[in-house]
Amino acid sequence: MTVTFVLSLNFRQRELGETGLDWQNGTKFVVWSAIIGLGILRWRELAALMGKPLTGLSLTYAAIALLSATWSEVPAYTAASAIGMLAYLVLACLLVRDLNEVAILRIVVGSLAAYIMAGLLAGALSFDIAWLAPSADESINRLQGFSGHPNTFGQQAAVFITLTVIAWRLRAFGNGAACALLIIGCVAILASGSRTNLAAALIAWFVIALRSSPWRHMVVLAGMTAVATLLMIAATGDLSEIGALAKGLSRTGAEGEVFTLTGRTELWATAWHLITEKPLFGWGYNGIEDIMSRTVSVGFEGTAINAHNMLLQSLASLGFVGSLPAIAAISLLCLRFFTKPDPARDQIAVLLLVSGLGEVGIAATPILLTVVVFYFFARDGQQCVGSRRHEL
């Protein structure tokens, strides 16, 4: 509960590229250090889990991230972020060792429900900290609760929705409770205006539901037909309807906002430029905030502290060599989606991959999504350990 509720709280706005220590990230560092200390005391219990593919690759990635502090422009910030990632991996392994799955889901979903409801209440009471004022081109306030940014609050709501669906599927909650929790999550994500995270939560839910549906072939065929129709319309040059749709999906009413993914294409170009400068080992884990803010064009409007793409963020931070463990872990997740289906793990995997197209996911500052993903990595490893013991 401390990690899912307390460490998700954010009561201040950082300046672009600011990486200094304050009481909030200091608190996180203390908690992370305590978790690692507990892991060291119980290393014999965790060794078997850490040796499994997904957790082992994650441990290797965290070790490279920590090592990258030696070449990062902000070594203390890089080292602290890497320690946070390692701490969440240790915590995930401790959870699967000490608690059963239903108990874990009830605790996490319950604490997240309290956190999100607190954010909604703050918004309803018109607390200034709970709302992000519209930019020059926008006209609506976006709810950020106590997260520090609407996209962060939207991602937390997306994780909450996904975990609630998983918990309901495992009968951790009844139909009525699950419905109430899902309504809370949907209200939060809609109020945040985070379209990427909304799409990720819905797609993850839909994909897993579709996979077990007897109508899946017809739905896939209908989807392919719709895509082919849109391509045909584009090929004939009649783009007026597509343009009108794009305006309707944008927050500012401008087509360009959708076609540039709210400025993300410029951030991707900037990140790629940084990658080409240091392609092997990058600039240091989570160490490109100040570089991004200085490199992006002067006229850019938005938050230019990361690549807003999980793969590009990792490549810019740790390069192609340093990112190999993460790429291997994601590839293994995709492979197991088809070869060893697991609705819970696969729903989190789809959420991670879809949200990672427009956000940094688990490739930057350790967050709620990081510990949730690592939990399902450790859960997968625990199942492998259990299967091996059963065979013996």
At 179-190, the pLDDT tens digits run 999 999 999 999
Look up residue 35 and give its two tokens. 């978790």
Q: What is the pLDDT of residues 249-295, one digit of tens each?
A: 555 555 555 545 666 888 888 899 999 999 999 999 999 888 887 88
Bigger pLDDT: 29 or 191?
Answer: 191
| pLDDT at 390 > cutoff 50 | no
Query: In the chain, count of helices (H) and strands (E)?
Result: 17, 2
| pLDDT at 386 > cutoff 80 | no
Residue partners of 242: CB distance under 8 A and separation at least 6 = 230, 233, 234
Buried/exposed code over 242-280 (b: 16+ C-beta within 10 A; e: otherwise): eeeebeeebbbeebebbeebbbbebbbebbeebbeebee
Helix axes 23-41, 43-50, angle to 10 degrees: 90
Helix or strand (DSSP H, E) at 194: none
What is the spatial distance between Cα 156 and Cα 144, in angstroms, rounded to a whole number? 10
pLDDT at 198: 93
Q: Look at residue 223 and give its three-state secondary structure.
A: helix
Integer distance in angstroms from the first to the last C-alpha of the chain? 36
pLDDT at 331: 96
Confidence bin at 244 (pLDDT 50/70/90)? low
pLDDT at 307: 87
